[in-house]
Amino acid sequence: MPYVMVPVPEEHVVDVMQYVTRLVARASRLPWDQDAVEQTFQKADEGGRSLLSLVSRAVLADKDLAAVDAMHALELKMRDLAGILGPIDEAAKAENRPPLVEMRLGERSAPGGRTRSVRILVMDAATAEMVRAAERKDRELEPHPLDRDVG
C-alpha cells in the first residue's frame, strides 16, 4: 500500500495522528443492512424504537427534525433524549457501524426573522427506509394491543 509523508508542525503531530486514526476507523465501518437494522430495532427499548421511527419518518418526508420537536413529540426532556440516543449509538459501535441517528447543528428562522442554531436529528435516507421496514416487520410480529382481533 503506497503512503505519503506530509510535513506537520511539531505542535500539531498528535492532533493530525488522531484525525488520521478517526478517518481510518470511520472507513472501516460496515454499512447498515436490513438484518442489522432489524436486530437493532428489535433490541431497542420503546423509547429507542419511537425515536428511530420519528427520525426515519422525518427523513423520508424530507423535513428537518429538531431535537426540541422530537422531545415534544415523544413527551421527553433533553436529558431523556440523550439517554435514548446513548444505547442506540452503543449498539452501532458494538457492530462497527455508523450511528443510526446523528445530531447536527442547523439553523431555523424565528418568528421575528432572526436565525438561531438548533440541533437537528438526521439519518441516512437508505437507513431510514430500512428502519421503516423494520418497524413494519415488528408490527407484524407484535401487533399493537388495540389492533389485535378479539374473538
pLDDT per residue as tens digits for the range 70-114: 999 999 888 888 889 999 999 998 888 999 999 899 888 878 888
Whole-angstrom Cα Rg for the chain: 19
All structural domains of the chain with their residue ranges: 32-141
What is the per-residue pLDDT for 147? 65
pLDDT per residue as tens digits for the range 121-145: 999 999 999 999 999 998 887 776 6
Q: 3-class DSSP state for residue 61?
A: coil
* pLDDT higher at 24 or 120: 120
Domain 32-141 belongs to what topology? Arc Repressor Mutant, subunit A (1.10.10)
Q: What's this model's pTM, rounded to 2 decimal places?
A: 0.75
* Helix boundaries (H) for the chain: 13-27, 34-43, 46-60, 67-74, 78-94, 125-141
pLDDT per residue as tens digits for the range 9-54: 999 989 988 988 887 777 777 888 999 999 999 999 999 999 999 9
What is the phi/psi pair of residue 61, to 5°?
A: -85, 0
Residues 6+ apart with CB under 8 A from 124: 32, 59, 98
